[in-house]
A and B are shown apart, each in its own frame.
Chain A
Amino acid sequence: MNEAYWARKPRPPFATLIAVAATYCHPEAYDGAYQDLIDRARSAEPGDEEIRVFRHELREALADPSRLPNDELFKAVDYGDGTDQAFLRRLWRDLYGDEP
């Protein structure tokens, strides 16, 4: 059985945000992954449902990081930013700049 957080049934909170972040932002991700996410987010195709949900969940998590499931984001991404909030802020800034 796939034991990834985002593969659980029923789908847990912030599953898309955490799955996308794990796919593109983890240190073991392929070379160029983070840039691919930036390009994908900035020029999202109309039918890219995953990136639409990702953006929505990223905005929700930034508004209230305490709603994130305990430790799942760090476990999935192993970021070096120090806190969930610092990582999410960097992600938003790199992907969407100053957009509200």
Chain B
Amino acid sequence: MTDAAEYLDKHQGERPWLSVARDRPPEVQRVFAALDQGGGHAHIRHEGWVTEEMNERRVRNLHDPAQLDPAKRAAGIDGLAPGDKPHRCGSIVTRITSSDAFAVALAKGAEHQDVRAALGTEFRERRVPAPVVLPIAGILGRDGHRFCSGWQLEPVDGSMRTARNLRDAWASARAGPEPKTHRVETFDGGTATFIFGPNRARDGYEIVTMYVNPPEGPAGQQGRDAR
């Protein structure tokens, strides 16, 4: 048994997002074990252990998949941030539905020169490299988009900005008309965003999260609006 397998065995009880990697190849297990020991959340909120329903409830009601207490999840409390903070979420939520594809995307992305450059940046307090956005096809192959899934808010009066604003207002009050959502039509031609932050030792940078995005245009992020 590898160190990664031992880590997954030991922690999957209290960290259920690790269970999807338990029976996968050692390379996949290593990615999950490494991510879980860092400060990132890509494997917790943007991967296959999150069901379609959990993902949809995240963007509609700010139910955080990382929050394991049902009452706190229903109240929109973040599952990872200390101090019972409200969960944050944009107008769209996405995930890679296969643990193997997720591990490949993460590993291939981490090899990209711009991601390597970001991770190799000399650490300075409060300074962080900007996100890197890579084509899904470049990290998962031509059919990689088939492993991607997501939900987004239904635009209000043709505006995603308004929908996002009203969703947050609903989440604060937990009252009034509930936000509406729809499934992302396709990720063909889409991208993956790598976001960075300080590592736990605060002596370097790590990938805080990686998530996929649909392509621009009618088949992708519908409802994007002009100012």
Contacts and interface: CB of A to CB of B under 8 A. Distances in A.
A81 interface: yes
A3 B189 CA distance: 12
Interface of B: 39, 80-82, 88-92, 112, 114, 126-135, 138, 160-162, 164-165, 167-168, 191, 193, 195-198, 208-209, 211, 221, 224-227
**What's the interface size class on A, roughly?**
35 or more
Given A7-B133, A27-B89, 9 more contacts: A3-B135, A4-B131, A4-B132, A7-B132, A23-B196, A27-B90, A29-B197, A30-B196, A80-B164
A30 B208 CA distance: 6
Contacts of A56: none
A26 B114 contact: no
A6 B88 CA distance: 24
Given A3-B134, A6-B130, A80 B168 contact: yes
A22 interface: yes
Interface in A63-100: 65-66, 68, 70-71, 74-75, 78-84
